[in-house]
């Protein structure tokens, strides 16, 4: 019998598991990743009195097998807050089991709790599998170019 997946907010002692998945995620997206100092910065962003980042984890048994992070942002054109999904990743051997959809549902519920009517995110243009997944959820694409400026433009 398959174990049930739980999707919930990350706990402070699970940051290293999230960092491990971040490294896998970056490798999958062919991006640079350095774990140096990230645990402290993530901890501060997630667990401060006013969080800058929310991190959800997907757990099977006692193993963290996926994560998603989001931030609250503001749209000038809508004159309203929206939730920005920064990362969504499920470990390779747990894909096609509905876990990504469960994580997205948790993120959408979180958006509603925060009073955000819109959820936005991006995926690399070459990731057709992810695009099909999002379209099956009812999302529609908004084609724009994404630019990065700063010391490491390969990093997300």
3-state SS, the chain, equals CCCCEEEEECCHHHHHHHHHHHHHHHHHCCCCCCCCCHHHHHHHHHHCCCCCCEEEEEEECCEEEEEEEEEEEEECCCCEEEEEEEEEEECHHHCCCCHHHHHHHHHHHHHHHCCCCCEECCCCCCCHHHHHHHHHCCCCCCCCCCCCCCCCCCCC
* pLDDT the model gives residue 154: 52
- For the chain, the domains span 5-136
* pLDDT the model gives residue 132: 79
* pLDDT the model gives residue 140: 81
pLDDT in tens, 79-88: 999 999 999 9
Q: Does domain 5-136 have CATH number 3.40.50.150?
A: no
More confident residue, 25 or 134: 25
User: What share of the chain has pLDDT > 90, as a percent?
Assistant: 68
pLDDT in tens, 29-77: 888 899 999 999 999 999 999 999 999 999 999 999 999 999 999 999 8
């Amino acid at each position: 019998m398959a174990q049930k997946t739980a999707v919930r907010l990350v706990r402070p002692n699970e940051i290293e598991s999230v960092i491990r998945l971040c490294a896998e995620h970056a490798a999958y997206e062919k991006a640079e990743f350095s774990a140096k100092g990230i645990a402290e910065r993530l901890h501060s962003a997630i667990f401060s009195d006013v969080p800058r980042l929310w991190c959800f984890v997907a757990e099977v048994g006692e193993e963290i097998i996926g994560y998603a992070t989001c931030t609250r942002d503001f749209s000038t054109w809508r004159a309203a807050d929206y939730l920005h999904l920064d990362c969504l990743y499920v470990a390779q051997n747990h894909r096609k089991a509905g876990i990504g959809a469960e994580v997205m549902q948790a993120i959408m519920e979180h958006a509603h709790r925060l009073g955000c009517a819109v959820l936005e995110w991006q995926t690399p243009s070459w990731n057709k599998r992810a695009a099909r997944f999002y379209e099956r959820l009812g999302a529609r694409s908004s084609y724009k170019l994404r630019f990065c400026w700063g010391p490491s433009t390969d990093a997300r």
